[in-house]
Amino acid sequence: MRLLLPLAAILAVLLVACGGGDDKPESPSATTSGSPTAIASMTAQDRSEAEALLKAATLQLEDLPSGYTLDEERFSTNEETADEQKENPYAPTLEDLNRFGRILSYDASYSQEVTADTFTTGGTLFVQVTSAVYEESEGAAEALDFVRQQASDPGFADEFEQNFASSSGVQVKSATVSPMSFAKVGDDRLAFEMKITAVSPGIDTDLDFVARVVGVLRGRGIDSLTVLSVGSPSPVDELENLAHTLDERMKDAFE
């Protein structure tokens, strides 16, 4: 299980990194009535309303298959996100995040019981969802394009492999990142699959990890869904069902 947290953090690094928040001093606040304003001008009530909006715009525990539990949830600012990813050349800088006009993000991770048999028979290990709100829809679209460009860079898979090896302490035999064809959700979306074959101490066979990551743009919001599996990946139709549920929640919250 020691592999799971660093792996999951690396797999979703770009979409999670495009889900933080901070002040944007030179920018006007969002103009939608009742919508949250930039962190710089937020009162305690504004912050509370922004947090409630983000939690409403993402998947809930009841949306997941039975057997999952909430492991961790948190809100992040742009400074926090940029600082956490400052060693990753593919993550957005604080200047990027402020240029996109991000306001705040909410991250939640869920897991189900894992036994030794899971690593031999295969199964889903981890689900992570992130919801982020931006000042304007144009900034959200720019952030999604940033993720698309970075993930398609030939060097991204190498960086992904190196980060995983250094974070987990295991030998990585191969790592790949490839785009996925995915059903239409939101105003725009992207999807890609990340695979790693690793040799773990104490386990006689190679471990094949597969993460499928979906990003959904809806209005001023971007949500991401990451499903991490060992062995064979989770079925695409299950992922699409979750993505459609996520999109419906985004539509209700952001529109």
Query: ∠ at Cα 185 (50, 48), nearest 5°?
Result: 5
Report the pLDDT averaged over residues 120-149.
Answer: 88
CA-nearest of 186, 44, 17, 156 to 100 is: 17
pTM over 0.85: no
The region, left, alpha or beta by phi > 0 then psi within -120 to 50, assigned to residue 218 is beta
> C-alpha 30: how far from its chain's center?
23
**Rounded mean pLDDT, 26-43:** 43
68 pLDDT band, cuts 50/70/90, is: very high
Give the confidence band of 200 by pLDDT, cuts at 50, 70, 90: low
Range from 90-104, 131-145, 158-172, 214-228 carrying the lowest mean pLDDT: 158-172
Q: What percent of the chain has pLDDT over 90?
A: 32
Question: What's the average model confidence in pLDDT over 32-56?
Answer: 68
Q: Rounded distance, CA 225 to CA 202, Å? A: 31
Please, what's the b/e burial string for 145-184 (b: 16 or more CB within 10 A of its CB; e: otherwise)?
ebbeebbeeeebbebbbebbbeebebebeebebeeeebee
pLDDT at 158 (0 to 100): 82
- Is the pLDDT reported for residue 201 higher than 90? no
Q: Kindly indicate the confidence band of residue 197, based on its pLDDT and cuts at 50, 70 and 90.
A: confident
What confidence tier does 190 reach under pLDDT thresholds 50, 70, 90?
A: very high
Strands (E) across the chain are located at: 68-76, 102-112, 123-134, 171-179, 188-199, 207-218, 221-230
